[in-house]
Structure 1
Amino acid sequence: MTVTIYHNPACGTSRNTLALIRNSGEEPRVIEYLKTPPARAELADLIRRMGVPVRDVLRQKGTPYGELGLGNPALTDDELLDAMMAHLILINRPIVVTPLGVRLCRPSEAVLDILPNPQRGAFTKEDGEPVVDAAGQRVLQGGAA
C-alpha cells in the first residue's frame, strides 16, 4: 500500500498529518511540493479526486492571494490553477493520497478518515491537543472518545 503526502515541513498542520500517518504504521512517500511541485495536470487531478472546488485548495494566509486578486469570483478554475503553479505557496497543504481517497487534511486529523490502518497508540498535536488515545481511538472535541 502506498500513502503519499504533499508536505511542507514548515507547516505545523502538515507535520502533524505526517506524524499521524506514521502513527498508523505507514511510512508514506513524502513530496515536499515547494521543492518538487506536482505537474499542473496532476494537481488538477488531485483536486478532482478530492471532490472539492479548485478555490477550496487555494491557501490565503501567508501567500500573494490578496495581491493577485484571487478572491475574484469571476476567475476560472484554469486561472486559479495557473496561479497555484506560478506561486506554489498558494497550494494549500497537506494533501494526502491513500487507497481510500484523497483529502486536504486541514485539520490534520482529517487524515484519519482515509488511512487504511488504525492508529497504533496515542497521538498529541504539536500544540498539545490530543487526537488519538492510548488505545488508538480518536479523541473527539471536548475529550470524549
Structure 2
Amino acid sequence: MSPTNSLFRAARPAFRARQFFFRPKQSSARSQSTATGSQAATESWGKRMWNSPVGLKTVHFWAPVMKWALVLAGVADFARPAEKLSLTQNAALTATGMIWTRWCLIIKPKNYLLAAVNFFLGVVGVVQCTRIALWHQSQKALTEEAKDAVKS
C-alpha cells in the first residue's frame, strides 16, 4: 500500500465528520427525497444558483462569462477597416467557436451558457473572415483594373 493511499484512508473520517460544501446530512433516502423537494421550492434563486452543479462557484459559469470579452472584442472590431484585421486570428476564433459549441453540447453536464458564447464567437469570426475575404477580392480587382489601365 502506498503512503498516499494510507494518508487518504486516514483522512476520510475527518472529511465525513465535517459538512463540506454546505450539504445537510440526511438520515435516510426517503427523508432526503422529501427534504430536497421542499427545500428546492423554498430556496431563493441565488442559493439554487450557488449550489447548482453549473452554478456561480464553478468553472461552468465563469468560463462563459469571461469568454464574452472575446465576443465583444470581435464585435468592436466591426468598426475597424478590414485591411487592419488579421485573417489567421479571426479564422482561429471561428474554429474555436465552432468546435467548442459542439463540445459544450456533448459534455456532462451540458453547458448551454458556454455553448451560446462559443456560437456567437464563431458567428463573429465568420463575419470578420468574410469582411477580410471581400476586401482581398476588391484589392485584386483594383490591381487588375490598374494593370489594364497601364496597358491601354
TM norm structure 2: 0.23
Structure ranking higher in strand proportion: 1
**Larger Rg: 1 or 2?**
2
Relative contact order, higher structure (CA 8 A, sep 6+): 1
Structure ranking higher in helix proportion: 2
